[in-house]
Chains A and B, each alone.
Chain A
Amino acid sequence: MNPDGGDEARGTADLVARRSYGKLIAFLAARTRDVSAAEDALSEAFALALKDWPRNGCPANPEAWLLAVARRRAIDAFRGRQRGEQAGEQLRLVSEGLSQAEAGPEIPDQRLALMFACGHPAIDPGIRAPLILQAVLGLDARTISSAFLASPAAMSKRLVRAKEKIREAGIPFRIPGRDELPERLSAVLDAIYAAFTEGWTDPAGADVVRRDLTDEALFLARLAVELLPAEPEALGLLALMLYAHARRRARRQAQGEYVPLAEQDPSLWDSPMLLEAEALLHRAAAMGSIGRYQLEAALQSAHVFRCRTGETNWPQVVQLYDALYALAASPVVALNRALAIAEVDGPQAALQAMPDAAADPRLTEYQPYWAARAELLARTGASAEARHAYDLAIGLERDPAVRRFLERRRAALAGC
């Protein structure tokens, strides 16, 4: 065997896997709704490609080659598993797909339909993001579980169950109609954002076991924009993620220490990425339908503008938070709104505007709530209360760099 051919074959297989994995899965599973069978068939096809391509050369159309092999494997698997009418029906569905694919050189892109199936309201919201990451990008359960702080075995079981539900409950692979689209799209966008924020909390990669999923999430957000270019919320989400991603390098010092937004060096921000975010946000705004992600992106834009120009824009920021709260009330939004109020009306007003942890038990375990409370209390001079809040925030934080940052703030309290 020619070792160069092996490298080239592996390279092509890697490239196709990265570029077309989700497209091939979506196409294979769209009719049967059987994502697991599609994954098995495609992984066998990739395995065969790594054996065949080095010997016989890479095919002219690697995707069509993989699809043809995967379809044969899927048909064999159905034959082996099922007998009678059911198998006949499944075979008909699989081969119907085959003849469609052979009709044209381009494999129809059904990734969006696949994402809508994974983000279906009948699927447990907590598994939607992992499911999309697996089905569209082919990430394995181990990689996903480390990002979502779950055990690989538990994550794998939940993914299998969710795929079973798509097949057995008859969750369709389709793009929802106009009347349902906003709600169904927001479930998909929420899942993409969840994948992004899971990766985002460990930007330094200090924890080597945890895999950073920000690039994968950005790929999905770009895909959503590419496939739904007229949906302002899809644009808003991509803008929001790019604003956050552009500041990635500034969030940590060289030694890995955490740097809050107000103390970041704007020269470390990724300017082309910020420009792309601005442009996306303008495009979305021109469509005249405001939503949660556009507002969050607008807030990021306001923060970036303030840090770069030094011009204070806190009253506008408070207004944006008011709008966001009216649209998507959550304790987290209320908390951030209170922090903006602190800049306009002072820390006492902000403490009054803060959501009450006693009324919402989710807040009692939310680190940013206690960190924000501690900052505000420190500014009013209530050192003892501030210390207590810092202690809770430190105890709740899982990122060591953020813990050290909070410890330094606690040490700076008056009367230490």
Chain B
Amino acid sequence: MQYLLMAYVDEKLWPTLTTAEKEQRMSAAYGPYVGALNQAGAVKGMNRLRPTGEAATVRVSDGKPQVLDGPYADSKEQLGGYFLIDVPDLDAALSWAARCPAAEHGAVEVRPIWVMQQP
């Protein structure tokens, strides 16, 4: 089954970190995690997202697109990246979420991918 692991972290902390801390948070932490995911053959896709300040949200009302500055929802922690994984069941997905560095200083939401029926 496929699951989307969504990494939520407080993006306001990022600019306050030193270069060494940034290195620690990113490559040192995510490098081995991504390595393990790849080795398990579990990963289907992943990306880090630019901060929510660079986001725009679109909604069509009365046939007219309305574009709003910023993310869809304001929250204490923001979606900072995602991993699309393919694993046997929810427990396997949850254990990958628990290993994700974001789970330590933020939270990781696990969502099963909706399986489309073949026509």
Which residues of A does B touch, CB under 8 Å?
82-86, 120, 122, 168-172, 174, 176
Q: Is B118 close to A, CB under 8 A?
A: yes
Contact of B91 among A82, A84, A86, A174 (CB under 8 A): A174
Evaluate contact between B112 and A169: CB separation under 8 angstroms: yes
Residues of A within 8 A of B112 (CB): 168-170
Evaluate contact between B118 and A169: CB separation under 8 angstroms: no
Contact of A172 among B3, B88, B115, B118 (CB under 8 A): B88
Residues of A within 8 A of B69 (CB): none
Evaluate contact between A172 and B90: CB separation under 8 angstroms: yes
Assembled-state Cα–Cα distance A122/B93 (Å): 12
In the complex formed, the residue of A with least CB distance to B115 is A86
Assembled-state Cα–Cα distance A59/B117 (Å): 39
Residues of A within 8 A of B91 (CB): 171-172, 174, 176
Assembled-state Cα–Cα distance A171/B117 (Å): 20
Residues of B within 8 A of A120 (CB): 90
In the complex formed, the residue of B with least CB distance to A116 is B91
Evaluate contact between A84 and B118: CB separation under 8 angstroms: yes
Against A, the Cβ 8 Å flags (1 = close, 0 = not) of B86-119 are 0011110110000000000000000010010111
A-B contacts at CB below 8 angstroms, number = 33
Evaluate contact between A85 and B118: CB separation under 8 angstroms: yes
Q: Is B58 close to A, CB under 8 A?
A: no
Contact of A170 among B89, B118, B119 (CB under 8 A): B89
Assembled-state Cα–Cα distance A85/B3 (Å): 19
Residues of B within 8 A of A85 (CB): 118
Assembled-state Cα–Cα distance A72/B89 (Å): 26
Contact of B117 among A86, A174, A176 (CB under 8 A): A86
Given A169-B112, A170-B1, decide whether A122 and B117 contact each other with a Cβ distance below 8 A.
no
Would you give the shortest CB distance from A58 to chain B, in whole angstroms? 38
Inter-chain pairs besides A168-B112, A169-B90, 8 sampled, C-beta below 8 Å: A84-B117, A85-B118, A86-B118, A170-B3, A170-B90, A171-B89, A171-B90, A172-B91
Contact of A82 among B1, B3, B88, B117 (CB under 8 A): B117
Assembled-state Cα–Cα distance A82/B119 (Å): 10
In the complex formed, the residue of A with least CB distance to B114 is A168
Evaluate contact between B117 and A170: CB separation under 8 angstroms: no
Assembled-state Cα–Cα distance A8/B93 (Å): 49
Assembled-state Cα–Cα distance A120/B3 (Å): 17
In the complex formed, the residue of A with least CB distance to B111 is A169
